[in-house]
Amino acid sequence: MKKLTLTPEQEGQRADQFLAGQVEGLTRSAAQKLLEQDAVTVNGQPVRKNAKLSPGVTVEVELPDPAPVEILPQNIPLDVVYEDEDVIVVNKPVGMVVHPAPGHPDGTLVNALMWHCGDSLSGINGALRPGIVHRIDRDTSGLMIAAKNDAAHLALSAQLQDHSLARTYQAIAVGGFREDVGTVNAPIARHKTDRKRMAVDPLGRSAVTHWRVLGRYEGYTHIQCNLETGRTHQIRVHMAYIGHPLLGDTVYGAKKPVKGLAGQCLHAAGLRFVHPRTGEMVELTCPLPDWFQAQLDRLKGKETDIE
């Protein structure tokens, strides 16, 4: 049984709309089926799918047990940047989902890793996310590390927690930055009314992004971002929060897509970690993808000096 409470901002929402926005992975049609099956109640009474909900009420949802999912290996090419018996680092292409989820049952990085690594992936994150230590968005490209055994996974997860696993991103942001360097320290939580988005929220989890200007252009800035924390959509949310959404980000910035971009102009260009077996520092980089470089090339001739 899942309990959900309406906020004042959600007053007047239809029951099916509210459920689809609050329960991750639940579509509106699936929410309507739950309502038709009397699996959704307020004060013990079933709710109609078109019922308008009032703020402050508690909605109880009886969610069905998830159907068993079989994740199959798929022969999908991987750009392997580093690999040994404990870890594998790949340069994930834009458009690839990291692990199976509603709407993306296969064709993911996990499917490709299972083909490439066989049974040599850690099982700590369960059957849906074998080996996955951290994630990057579908429309973000760049370096991702996966663990081949549980000991390596635990060691790398600890480095994520104490920030010794360092990730460096490059992005093109809209607008000009007054300073050359800066930090955004603003907690992030799930958006109150749109569960597919994140938002800066004083009650959210701590989130810190350090940024540095790499190049200034007319109307745009090429920046480098270093993460202290790894919240969902962190760079995208933080840059939009300070008035500089990422180029091509139709979720947190302009709604109109940008020619030549499948999503936001964001690339995980650097990764540094302590090897879980040897204790040696491993530092890896990967070049900007062609689609990112093409956006920079379009801005050439408009560059100004960094003061």
Residues designated as active site = 137
C-alpha span between 119 and 285 (Å, rounded): 27
For residue 123, the tally of other CB atoms under 10 A from its CB is 14
- Cα–Cα distance for residue pair 122/100, rounded to 1 Å: 16
Tokens of 109: 């990085």
The answer for 128, left when phi > 0, alpha when psi is -120 to 50, beta otherwise, is alpha
Strands 220-227 and 141-147: unpaired
- In sign, the C-alpha dihedral spanning 123, 128, 129, 131 is positive
**Please, are residues 277 and 156 in contact by the beta-carbon 8 Å criterion?**
no
- For residues 93 and 81, give the distance between their C-alpha atoms in angstroms, rounded to a whole number: 13
Element (H, E) at 112: helix 109-117
Contact 182, 211 (CB under 8 A): yes
- The SS3 of residue 27 is coil
User: What are the helix (H) ranges across 227-278?
Assistant: 234-241
Q: How many CB atoms lie within 10 A of CB 50?
A: 11
